[in-house]
């Protein structure tokens, strides 16, 4: 990885793209610490320090690199764009007009991208309104003399929404003038910004074990164990990202004129982690709804609403629901991305067959069976990585470890994808073409 970055830096065009990407990331980090007007930042910091890192608010704060806790210009982060992209993917399958647009090539993709931008702004507006009411209900909003509540709310919500649109624009600029993966790079920058906080918490636990060996001596082992576990999870993610199930395919020979074509043996690759981090994001989004409701509305003690919201806290019931939702969404995402019948028809049209399997429906059934098994392995891997930090916190009591399994998957996945992007761009520049 380091050699790839070093070699890319030597190429002037790629160096300019890397510097431009770095500039956008620095601008994003500056915007993440600039608070919007009419807020008591000290009271907000005190409120957010009491929120667990595994709650909905802590999860959003982690994805935004701490911008949520500052109520800054970029407090909404990239979440509205991610959610709008997910919604558009689902609507593309459900609405025939959008499905036709997706198959119209570059022009169709541009129209879908435009719709996605409008949906992002709409979601940012809704999320900004919810965040403003959360701040107002907790006494964070300040009302200057002569300023009405409507004016303060309008300015706050408009600022949050404008920050969402600006982040989306930054990601698109990285795609056009940078090294690519703009939205992923901004998301990565926000998560990496929380690394010092996480390892600072680990160091505090280790120091607590040194200072009080009689009462907190277990942290002398648990804190280093977290670092070892963190490195092991990274290795597992890298291994699973590269793992794939290869289905052998044999193409029949055919004679065209005086030449013979085909006859080669190849394979159909199916990645184990085909859905990436999407099932985890879906599951987190659903389970964060009760927690976000709790942040906006506090039910009476002992009421039914209070019991329901407490059940969705970071306990063992939450772990079980999280696991089931990840597995369910992994299969759902697989059904969206892959169509075994279409894959079997494409093989038959290109005179390709799977050895030992008849063309047509038997091939489709065989591919569906392989996809089901591979999806199960990938879903268990995602659930394992996503639940390790939560289980570790429940067992050891070490709260404040903001780097969850989802974050590690995003960090490793974006890093690997960025390296592949740089390698492909370097290969294109070294390829002379048939005219030279």
**CATH number of the domain within which 49 lies:** 1.10.3370.10
Domain assignment present for 269: no
**Does residue 94 lie in a domain region?**
yes
Domain with 54, as residue range(s), is 1-193
Position 356 scores a pLDDT of 83
Name the band, by pLDDT with cuts 50, 70 and 90, for residue 434.
Answer: very low
Q: Per the domain annotation, does 421 fall within a domain?
A: no
CA dist 312 and 34 (Å) reads: 33
CA geometry: angle at 322 spanning 320 and 327, to 5°? 100
C-alpha to C-alpha distance for 323 and 382, rounded to whole angstroms: 9
**Does residue 68 lie in a domain region?**
yes
Pairing of β 352-353 and β 254-256: unpaired
Domain assignment present for residue 314? The answer is: no
HSE-CB of 336 using CA atoms within 13 angstroms: 20
Q: Which residue has tokens 């500056």?
A: 30
Residue 107 has pLDDT above 80, yes or no: yes
Q: CB atoms < 10 A from the CB of 367, how many? A: 23
| 35 secondary structure, DSSP code | B
Residue 119, domain member (yes or no): yes
- Say if 234 falls within a structural domain: no
Q: What pTM was estimated for this model as a whole?
A: 0.75
Of 410, 331, 321, nearest in space to 377 by CA: 331
Q: How confident is the model at residue 216 (pLDDT cuts 50, 70, 90)?
A: low
Which of 42-56, 96-110, 112-126, 351-365 is most confident? 112-126
pLDDT for the residue numbered 344: 85
How many domains does the structure of the chain reveal? 1
Q: Which residue has the tokens 């089901």?
A: 372
- Asked, for residue 216, whether it belongs to a domain, the answer is no
Confidence at 310, pLDDT banded by 50, 70, 90:
low
pLDDT of 435 higher than 50 = no
């Amino acid at each position: 990885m380091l050699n790839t970055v070093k070699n890319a830096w030597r190429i002037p065009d790629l160096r300019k793209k890397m510097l431009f990407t770095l500039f956008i990331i620095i601008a994003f980090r500056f915007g993440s610490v600039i608070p919007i007007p009419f807020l008591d930042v000290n009271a907000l910091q005190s409120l957010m320090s009491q929120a667990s890192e595994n709650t909905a608010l802590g999860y959003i704060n982690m994805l935004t690199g701490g911008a949520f806790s500052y109520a800054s210009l970029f407090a909404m982060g990239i979440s509205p764009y991610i959610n709008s992209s997910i919604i558009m993917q689902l609507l593309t399958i459900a609405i025939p007009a959008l499905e036709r647009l997706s198959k119209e090539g570059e022009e169709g993709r541009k129209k879908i991208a435009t719709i996605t931008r409008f949906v992002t702004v709409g979601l940012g507006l809704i999320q900004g309104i919810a965040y403003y009411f959360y701040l107002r209900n907790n006494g964070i909003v300040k009302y200057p003399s002569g300023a009405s509540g409507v004016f303060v709310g309008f300015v706050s919500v408009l600022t949050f929404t404008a920050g969402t649109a600006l982040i989306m624009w930054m990601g698109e600029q990285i795609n056009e003038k940078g090294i690519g993966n703009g939205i992923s790079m901004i998301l990565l920058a926000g998560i990496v910004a929380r690394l010092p906080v996480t390892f600072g918490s680990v160091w505090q636990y280790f120091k607590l074990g040194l200072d009080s060996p009689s009462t907190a001596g277990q942290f002398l082992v648990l804190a280093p164990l977290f670092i070892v576990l963190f490195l092991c999870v990274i290795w597992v993610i890298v291994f699973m990202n590269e793992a794939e199930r290869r289905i052998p395919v044999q193409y029949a020979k055919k004679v065209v004129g005086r030449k013979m074509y085909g006859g080669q043996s190849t394979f159909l690759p199916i990645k184990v982690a085909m859905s990436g981090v999407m099932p985890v994001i879906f599951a987190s989004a659903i389970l964060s709804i009760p927690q976000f409701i709790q942040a906006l509305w506090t039910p009476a003690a002992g009421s039914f609403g209070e019991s329901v919201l407490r059940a969705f806290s970071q306990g063992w019931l939450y772990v079980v629901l999280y696991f089931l939702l990840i597995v369910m969404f992994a299969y759902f995402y697989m059904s969206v991305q892959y169509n075994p019948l279409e894959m079997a028809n494409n093989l038959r049209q290109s005179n390709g067959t799977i050895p030992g399997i008849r063309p047509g429906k038997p091939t489709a059934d065989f591919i569906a069976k392989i996809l089901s098994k591979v999806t199960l392995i990938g879903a268990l891997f995602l659930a394992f990585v996503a639940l390790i930090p939560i289980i570790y916190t429940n067992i050891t009591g070490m709260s404040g470890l903001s780097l969850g399994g989802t974050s590690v998957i995003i960090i490793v996945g974006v890093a690997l994808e960025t390296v592949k992007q740089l390698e492909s761009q370097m290969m294109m520049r070294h390829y002379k073409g048939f005219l030279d």
